[in-house]
Structure 1
Amino acid sequence: MNLPEACIRRPVMTTLIMAIFLIFGFFAFKQLPVAALPRVDFPTINVSARLPGASPETMASSVAAPLEREFASISGITSMSSVSQQGSTSITLQFDLNRNIDGAALDVQAAMSATARRLPPELPSPPSFRKVNPADQPVLFMVLTSSTRPLYEVHEFGENVLQQQISQLPGVAQVNIFGAQKYAVRIKINPDAVSARGLALSDVRTAVAAANSNAPVGTLNGENQRLTLGATGQLERAAEYGNLIIAQKNGTPIRLQDMATVYDSVENDQTASWYNGQRSIILAVYRQSDANTVEVVDNIKNRLEAYRAQLPAALDLHVLNDRSIPIREAVEDVEFSLVVAITLVIMVIFLFLKSLAATIIPTLALPISLVGTFAAMYALGYSLDNISLLALTLAVGFVVDDAIVMLENIIRHIEMGKKPFQAALDGSREIGFTILSITISLVAVFIPVFFMGGVVGKVFVEFAGTISAAIIVSGFVSLTLTPMLCARFLKAHDHHKKPNLLERTFEAGFQGMLTAYRVTLDWVLKARLLMLLLTLGTVYVSAQLYTAIPKGFFPTEDTGLLRGATEGPPDTSFEAMAVRQQRVAEIVKADPAVDYLTSNIGGFNATNNGFMFISLKPKEERDKAEVVIARLRRATSEVPGMTAVFQQVQNINLNAGRQSRAQYLYSLQGPDLNQLFAFAPLMQQRLAQIPQLRDANIDLQLRNPQLSIDVDRERAASLGISSDQIRQALGNAFGSRQIATIFTPATDYQVIMEADRAYQQDPAVLSRLLLKASNGLNVPLEAIATIKPSVGPLAVNRISQQPAVTISFNTAPGISLGDAVNAIRAAERDVSLPPTIVTSFAGSAQLFQDALKGQGLLIFAAILVIYIILGILYESFIHPITILSGLPSAGLGALLALEYFNMDLSVIAIIGILMLVGIVKKNAIMMVDFAIERRKMGDDALSAIREAALVRFRPIMMTSFAAIFGVLPIALGHGAGAELRQPLGIAVVGGLLVSQLLTLYITPVVYFYLDKVDSWLSGRNRRETQETMVSGVPVAVPQAVHKPDL
């Protein structure tokens, strides 16, 4: 008893098995996380260090270089890059995708500890690291503003209350603060006033640090009581520091306020954030990699009233950049496409079967297969996202295919006059192997995807797993539930029943199609050689089209969010940059498509750099995002001395944590700094002239004004002044030194000392800076050093421990990434880059090149796996070739459709073509299976394949139309995330339209020719094996000569 027969005879068992699928699937659906795209974890660690006042060169050589040398010994690092700017260094370590991030973090911690002895002792705190996932974007912005309270009070509530409470919510990974304005006591020292009192800046620093002691002093232990001693050495506010006595002179106290302005300020006064033009503190919330974005955002929003109730007076809380909104919209749109696809497929089934009962039977396969797939998705750790829902939508078109094939064959037996029960037994037994072949070979298409490496593999393994689960469940349902329902609910054929008008009309149309097909098929079978040449021509044209079509990576989605990057001249001060940044922000906010924006400068960026997050209005109220970007680019170009670059925020960031002003990265590396710095600007200028590119900009800025201090070491030594003493004096005056710490129950604050602003604006002050000689006298710096103006880099960039320059760029509208890459390679030849300079793409551009290399291999591997599976199922080397002969026509249709709609051959489109490999062969399997059975009954090859093509014409048409209409909503493309899904839909629909037509003729012709080969091989094998052993001697038994069919 086979499986279908067992299910037919045991309907209760079959029903309960289906109920299990539905129950487990329903509960799994409720537990599945919701996200924009599948979880892609980049094991990435960011190491940062700060040394206020240090130049970029100093940070690179004394901080970045020692750390990088130690990190280089850590296993599993795929890329290491660093950016050293004024007073800060950031090192990004990206590990192999299979590297455990926690183990990598332990190795990084150990390397930092080993390097600690070689780092400058002036570092206010040791380097720190954090585990990051550059693929993640903030899921929510919490913005705090106040029109009356100082910003450090706004920051204090954000850091000590909101950040702490939100960080503890389930699913929240971290909460970063943009535009931080943490409280600090700032001492603006007057160097002349200090020297006039016979003091040095180091004396002030020492006195302030000593006066702010918070150390324990001991205890008193009596016979009956123990008392802890506490000294009031902690100063907390600027007014207290102003009265601090620094020294005594002739019995008169010298107070800090006599030599400095002491005021309540912020720790970093070189960073700022705005929300719609108002200064603000922005909390960016990031989710954990396995968390549900929608749930994380909902958890925060549900607590908004509680957060607002805690707000101090005059503080306002705004919720921005809600990433759950586009995710909800995308999921809803895909769900809508799913419903439309199901409706269209049911209509197709009804039109062909002309019976409500017959329509319901395969229709039941849809919910059971899809709901059952949710259980598999939950077990595999998948989420409801654009990719998995896309797989489910595509599955609609062919999860009913198996049920249709089973149903149609049983109805054919009923029409022969059999009772439904017997027809179900005979029909399921006859067609069971065909369904098994279709199911196994269709799943086999996606086997290579499971072995894909890199980011593309991480993303699309969820697609492959989801659709494979749906196929397997649908195949099981077709072999169990469908024949059982047919046996119970189909009626015996009534020859006297009169069809209604709709049935007569459709049947007449179908019979007309069948007649036309019979006539054309007979003609093709007579002109077999011509059809064979057409098949070979299809292969050639497909190969040429594949070579010529533009190649792309991921389609750019219109998420409704833009990121803007701004840059001023290298010598721009923080104050001047703030004015210019606000002017750009005003222009952006005035655009009719813009809803709101946040703007930032400073922080870990250079003072002449800024960035913006721009939220656009709903799609129906604005132009396309690329049109808005073009308009903003033109409008902001009018701001003098500023350049602004805008790009669409994507659901996945593939630039491995590297900051860039545009979407794609191109790097140049070389050991010769002078050569690298000479050719990199030439390359950037050449790329800016290429019409295929936009926004080509370079991270090399060599015209940062500097003052070089050349110390006369012999003169300094004669006065007893050391190099360290000079460095300390300069740092005390101009380095924003953190000279003391204020500890409170909630947090700690810094006391910062630097020269008064008037002295920072006058380079001549350096000459008058006093140093204490060994004899106690103060010596001006100009007595032992020469001060010269010079220029230097605004930032020092390194990749893999080598100096590097990175050019970021966007592609022009309508230009594929592949075309842009080819144009850049041509530009390299135009510039004549020396061989010592090594160029490479990084981030998404590098991933595109990796994916491009594997495209052909992926398709070849899928075809090879299918061939092997079919060869095993049919025990034949030849029949699988017949079944696969229609694939070139599918590729031709897909490529023609993409070309017609001006779309790139992106990774998404390649997955569509991979889908076609699995879908198209189903027609051939149905024909070849039937033909093989007819051959066993004695028919010649020509008659067998002709009969197979005509008998299987109805199920072929049903499954073809079901597949086309199932994917049609995706191809039409609407709603959020449509840009990501549409190329796949276009490729599948185009491939199906062409292949379903051509394979009806290609398969019979190829079968006829290859059957001759199969017969010859079978005859030869029989002759070789039909030998008997007579007295141990093999004797050949005479065989009849096999005559191949003509």
Structure 2
Amino acid sequence: FGPTVWATRHRVTVYALTVLITVFGLTSYLTLPKELFPDLVIPTIVVNTVYPGSSPSDIENLITRPIEKRLKGLAGVEKINSYSQQDVSTIVVEFSVSEDPKEAKDRVKDAVDKARPDLPNDLPQEPSVTDVDFSEFPILSINLAGDYSPAQLKKYADQLKDRIEALPQVRRVDIIGALEREIRVDVDMNQLQARNLTFSDIENAIARENVLISAGEADLGQQKRTLRIDARFRSVEELRNLVVRSGFGAPVYLREVAEVYDGYKKRESYALLDGKPVITLNVVKKAGENLVETADAIFALLERAKQDLLPPDLRVVVTNDLSERTRLQLDDLVNTIIIGFLLVTGVMMFFIGLDNALFVGFSIPLSSFVAFLLFPSLGYSLNLVVLFTFVLALGIVVDDAIVVIENTYRLFDNGRLPILQATQLAATEVFAPVLSGTLITALPFVPLLFWNSIPGKFLYYLPVTFIITLFASLFVAYIINPVFAVDFMKPRKPGTRKVFTRGFLLSLVLLLVLALLFYLTGSKGLGNFTLTIVAFSIFARSILSRLIEKFQRSLLPGLVTTHQRILAWCIRPGHPKWVLLGLLALFVGGFTLFALNPPKITFFPTRDPNYIYAYLKLPEGTSVDYTYAVARTAYERVKTVLGQDNPLVTSILVNVGVAAGDPFDRSSANAPNRAKITVAFVEYRQRGGRSTRPYLDSVYAALRDLPGVTLSVEGDRAGPPAGKPIQIEIASEDPNLAIEASQAIKAYLDSLRIPGIQELASDLVLSRPEIRLRIDRERAQRAGLSTAQLGLELRTALYGKEASKFRYLEDEYPIQIRYKEAYQRQPERLLTHRIVFRDFSDGRLKQYPLSSFARLHYSSGPGLIRRKNLKRTITLSSDVLPGYNPTLINTQIRKALAALPLPKDVSVRIGGEQEEQAKAARFLQGAFLAAIGGIFFVLLVQFNSLGIVLVILSQVLFSILGVVWGFALSRIEFSVVVSGIGVVALLGIIMKNGILLVEFIEELRKRGYRTRRAIVEGASLRLKPVLLTATAGVLGLIPLAVGFNIDFVSLFTHGDPKIFFGGDTTFFWLPLASTIIFGLTFATGITLVVVPLLYYLLHVGQLRWGHFVRRIRYGYLRD
């Protein structure tokens, strides 16, 4: 093989290349951005339009519908969801994931611009078009509390916000729980009307006087000076003394018709930390920035701020710190990789010897370093998906190196060839089958590259990382490993081998000196690590080598002999049918057990929650102050059920009004009637094996009887957003039909009391209180007024209007004019408001009381109008109680809905998580079939025999059978996405075993062996590599599957391994690891017997078919 020949002749170059790969690969690993999960770039565009003072119905008709009509025809749009609520229209446009997000945003912007003429002219600001960045969630929250006034706390929060936002890694900082300053001009209606003034008079007077004007430059001969008029208000007193009108008698001052004071906007939010009011700063980092480094920069900034900005008695508490969990979980996976590497290398020592195992084990880190070198150019981060892929690849990337090194050792050890020629010939002999095996292993991951969905994008790093690492291992096996073999591989010598040679003792002395240097320089961890290498070297030479030799001389030959006997019995005449019947019984029994006692089936894996979220929703129209009072009561109940000073709980945070809804639910982000309680738990390793899942039930039970509260309690979810596990969507062109159908469905499902449903809630809100103003249109028009004029006048009087800005130092605050609160609390008094206008027919000023044209009518209207794909849609949703299977619950719901008669114009569908789960299942089924097709083609090219290809492909059935039995017996939950990927990945992993067996049987037959002998001897001779590759693949995943973890840094630096079982990474990846372990273990055991048997039956069938064909031909020719 040309590249191997070149490498072995240019060994210095290859050593230099190895050093470069190691150094730069390790540097790349250390400097890669670190994330918990990959950043999702999904083309989802949000159009937000604010129209204060408008009801949901008005928002729908005036804002939402006109924009929707323009968005409907855009290319690439998959779904349009809109939410019309008080003051705000939110339209979420979801594009296909194959669309470019920037182009999608531009299309939406163009559509909104085209819809602008159809929107109200008095919008306070233009509709905003933003793209959803799924990485735009707080990485940590900074909470400020102390005995300070709201203004002082807000001042400190603003100053801290400015400093944090100056960091290059930070996108923005959101402040929650603070009062917003404004200059209030509360107008007295009676005084205003007594002086024949209007709101416009006040607004114009303020705007005309609060100005900064540049008048140009004055030429003073040798210099020029700029002329400026700075008439901006410097105090509230200046504003009070403003002359609103003059020239008609005595001047009218603003203080005479209004109260002017420096105050705050109406409170929109509250925040509590452990029961005490706080101001919370949520920090959002920029996409692609290193989460851990960003958090470290913020913590360093906080320490500086405590010294030179914040007073010493101000309490600063950081909560919801994602960097801590990211750091710990990434470290856990790195430790898992190390444990897996040690196990894989250890088992290889017993099968191929100590020195050869070290050669092969060396390929694992080198292959990883090659992958790390490519990651920066691909824009990848270091996250849990990437690191798990290395865990998955641990026992697989060594396969190529095992074949090459073992073949080299075989040619070299028997003395036939010198090491250089043996290395070159060995690589040449096995290149074709090794390349074929690598292609087959990689092929099942190729379809995953084209998974155009949120789960596909979320897990995109997995197939890319695996394929890169796999082909990197091929490079290492054929370029680097042969060079090390040439210089370091030694043949076995007969007789007793000297344990402690001079060279070995010299190496130990050098290592001891190095350890001493580490200790002297304070590097205790490195010193302990070096001593560990010394201890292992002595153990390996004195004890381990003898154990390996005993295994290879006694146990391994015994396994081979046993396998030969079993195989010989299976292919005896009359025996194959019993083997096949036994296999059929396994199939029937496995699938029957799975069907009768199915495991819990989920979309993404569930885990012990790190956070519990309790979402409280009060009736529409509830004030933020009342919601706050209810939230405080709820907090006390939650605190009681958690227990005083619970060591598992780090904090309890309460948000009211802002950041109080599910962040993935656009209809519940900010509202005065919503509150959220967040319970944060300590990291898994600090829980002492105690589960946090029971607290989900406890919190729900404590809050479920709060009067007037719609409750949802859930834990933090693993994986990307997918909606609620139970979500029923009812849509109709006729809103009344949709309302009636949703109420009927909810009542019917509630009556069935299906176990596992937490609380079926509807997003339909019909009881939002409204006051409607009925205008006598004809009478108003006769007076020269339009309905729009009347509406604007009333809007300004009630909601207010910003007249100008009040500047204080570097900040600006709105100057807001409106009637006094007394008028807002008594809407009837607003009818006495006089409308003053100029009649353009005669040029005279006219004034009429509003009561001349309008009457008040108390009623109620919808609090939220949700539309999906331009149809009014009502959603019933619920979380699932812990321990219940959401898939089975949805199956029961479907059966119930099928029995419920509904109007023809009403459509009902299951959405949310179940919809995404069904899409994922369909894709993975297609990927499974595509992978089989690709593998079939590669095998057909390699063997040129349809029968042999089918024999090898039979392993697919064995692996699936192993997965079925494994999940049915273990009761581990089956994740459609994560376990499904495992089933697809198994296709390539298990094929190598069958190929090794069949290929060698074919080789022996070509050498003249009879078929039965070739089958028995060929399969037995390949028992060792088959067991080795399968065992390595399983052992690489075992630490993750059982959750076994050792902190190696702590072990070497402090002598404390901090051993624990479980963890978030185990919960998330357990279904995939279990899938491969079950499938690979079962398929390997069956393959070693059944594949040779099927090959034998194929041979017998071919003989009989040939005999049959010859008889036909002979008879035909004779006749």
Normalised by the length of structure 2, the TM-score is 0.84
Q: Give, in angstroms, the shift of residue 647 of structure 1.
A: 2.4
8 Å CA contact retained: 2:397, 2:473: yes
Of 835-844 and 865-874, the range deviating more from structure 2: 835-844
Q: Give, in angstroms, the shift of residue 927 of structure 1.
A: 0.9
Give the counterpart letter for 2:696 in structure 1: I
Structure 2 counterparts to residues 529-678 of structure 1, below 5 A: 529-535=577-583, 551-558=601-608, 560-589=610-639, 591=642, 592=646, 593-603=648-658, 605-619=670-684, 620-621=686-687, 623-650=690-717, 652-655=719-722, 665-678=727-740
Give the counterpart letter for 1:960 in structure 2: A
2:501: which partner in 1?
none
For the pair 1:794 / 2:849, whether they are aligned, the reply is no
8 Å CA contact retained: 2:142, 2:318: yes
2:475: which partner in 1?
476
Instruction: Choose which of 1066, 1069, 1084 in structure 2 pairs with 1:978.
Output: 1066
In structure 2, distance between residues paired with 1:217 and 1:828: 74
Q: Give the SS at the match of 1:273.
A: strand
Of 442-451 and 213-222, the range deviating more from structure 2: 213-222
Q: Give the SS at the match of 1:977.
A: helix
Paired positions, count:
1018
8 Å CA contact retained: 1:557, 1:977: no
8 Å CA contact retained: 2:285, 2:294: yes
In structure 2, distance between residues paired with 1:698 and 1:485: 68
- Describe the superposition over 1:298-353 as per-residue Cα deviations: whole angstroms up to 9, x where unpaired: 22223223344553657654433211111111111111111111111122122234
In structure 2, distance between residues paired with 1:617 and 1:44: 34
Change (3 A) 1:955 1:31: same
In structure 2, distance between residues paired with 1:16 and 1:1021: 62
8 Å CA contact retained: 1:898, 1:983: no
- Describe the superposition over 1:80-110 as per-residue Cα deviations: whole angstroms up to 9, x where unpaired: 2222222222222233323333333333333
Give structure 2 stretches of 5+ with no counterpart: 498-544, 659-668, 1044-1061
For the pair 1:97 / 2:97, whether they are aligned, the reply is yes
2:557: which partner in 1?
511
1:995: which partner in 2?
1083
Change (3 A) 1:20 1:895: farther
1:395: which partner in 2?
393
For the pair 1:729 / 2:793, whether they are aligned, the reply is yes
Of 743-752 and 341-350, the range deviating more from structure 2: 743-752
Q: Give, in angstroms, the shift of residue 414 of structure 1.
A: 5.8
Q: Give, in angstroms, the shift of residue 830 of structure 1.
A: 4.2
In structure 1, distance between residues paired with 2:36 and 2:1022: 41
In structure 1, distance between residues paired with 2:301 and 2:945: 65
Q: Give the SS at the match of 2:382.
A: coil
Give structure 1 stretches of 5+ with no counterpart: 1023-1035, 1042-1046
Give the counterpart letter for 1:599 in structure 2: V
RMSD, matched Cα:
3.5
Give the counterpart letter for 1:445 in structure 2: P
Q: Give the SS at the match of 1:398.
A: coil
In structure 1, distance between residues paired with 2:1105 and 2:473: 36
- Describe the superposition over 1:904-960 as per-residue Cα deviations: whole angstroms up to 9, x where unpaired: 242111122223212212211111111111111122332212111111112222222
Give the counterpart letter for 2:625 in structure 1: E
Instruction: Choose which of 829, 832, 839 in structure 1 pairs with 2:901.
Output: 832
Q: Give, in angstroms, the shift of residue 10 of structure 1.
A: 5.2
8 Å CA contact retained: 1:135, 1:652: no
Q: Give, in angstroms, the shift of residue 248 of structure 1.
A: 6.0
For the pair 1:938 / 2:936, whether they are aligned, the reply is no
8 Å CA contact retained: 1:62, 1:119: yes
Of 883-892 and 777-786, the range deviating more from structure 2: 777-786
Change (3 A) 1:845 1:211: farther
Q: Give the SS at the match of 1:404.
A: helix
Structure 2 counterparts to residues 142-161 of structure 1, below 5 A: 142-151=142-151, 154-155=153-154, 158-159=157-158, 161=159
8 Å CA contact retained: 1:139, 1:293: yes
In structure 2, distance between residues paired with 1:112 and 1:236: 40
Q: Give, in angstroms, the shift of residue 828 of structure 1.
A: 2.8
Give the counterpart letter for 2:871 in structure 1: Q
Q: Give, in angstroms, the shift of residue 438 of structure 1.
A: 1.8
Q: Give, in angstroms, the shift of residue 997 of structure 1.
A: 0.9
For the pair 1:808 / 2:905, whether they are aligned, the reply is no
Structure 2 counterparts to residues 97-496 of structure 1, below 5 A: 97-134=97-134, 136-151=136-151, 154-155=153-154, 158-159=157-158, 161-179=159-177, 181-214=179-212, 216=214, 228-235=226-233, 237-247=235-245, 251-267=249-265, 269-309=267-307, 311=309, 317-353=316-352, 355-413=353-411, 418=416, 421=419, 424=423, 427-496=426-495
- Describe the superposition over 1:533-552 as per-residue Cα deviations: whole angstroms up to 9, x where unpaired: 44556666677778766542
Q: Give the SS at the match of 1:184.
A: strand
Give the counterpart letter for 1:801 in structure 2: L
Give the counterpart letter for 2:610 in structure 1: G
Change (3 A) 1:666 1:270: same
Give the counterpart letter for 2:324 in structure 1: I
Change (3 A) 1:231 1:820: farther
Change (3 A) 1:643 1:389: same
1:819: which partner in 2?
888
Structure 2 counterparts to residues 69-84 of structure 1, below 5 A: 69-84=69-84
In structure 2, distance between residues paired with 1:134 and 1:841: 24
Of 860-869 and 181-190, the range deviating more from structure 2: 181-190
In structure 2, distance between residues paired with 1:246 and 1:424: 98
Give the counterpart letter for 2:676 in structure 1: F
Change (3 A) 1:663 1:257: farther
8 Å CA contact retained: 1:692, 1:819: no
Change (3 A) 1:172 1:337: same
- Describe the superposition over 1:701-737 as per-residue Cα deviations: whole angstroms up to 9, x where unpaired: 1101112221222333344443233212321222233
Change (3 A) 1:512 1:398: same
8 Å CA contact retained: 2:920, 2:976: no
In structure 2, distance between residues paired with 1:545 and 1:466: 36
Give the counterpart letter for 1:626 in structure 2: R
Change (3 A) 1:180 1:74: farther
In structure 2, distance between residues paired with 1:195 and 1:937: 114
8 Å CA contact retained: 1:417, 1:493: no
For the pair 1:1009 / 2:1057, whether they are aligned, the reply is no
For the pair 1:704 / 2:704, whether they are aligned, the reply is no
In structure 2, distance between residues paired with 1:494 and 1:1021: 56
Give the counterpart letter for 1:615 in structure 2: A
8 Å CA contact retained: 1:42, 1:135: no
Q: Give the SS at the match of 2:93.
A: strand
- Describe the superposition over 1:457-479 as per-residue Cα deviations: whole angstroms up to 9, x where unpaired: 22333111212222222233333
Give the counterpart letter for 1:691 in structure 2: P
Q: Give the SS at the match of 2:568.
A: helix
Give the counterpart letter for 1:576 in structure 2: Y
Instruction: Choose which of 893, 910, 914 in structure 1 pairs with 2:984.
Output: 914
In structure 1, distance between residues paired with 2:298 and 2:736: 52
Q: Give the SS at the match of 1:514.
A: helix
1:1027: which partner in 2?
none
In structure 2, distance between residues paired with 1:769 and 1:294: 59
8 Å CA contact retained: 1:446, 1:468: yes
2:48: which partner in 1?
48
In structure 2, distance between residues paired with 1:502 and 1:105: 63
8 Å CA contact retained: 1:420, 1:492: no
Give the counterpart letter for 1:55 in structure 2: S
For the pair 1:903 / 2:967, whether they are aligned, the reply is no
8 Å CA contact retained: 2:951, 2:1094: yes
Q: Give, in angstroms, the shift of residue 3 of structure 1.
A: 4.7
1:1033: which partner in 2?
none
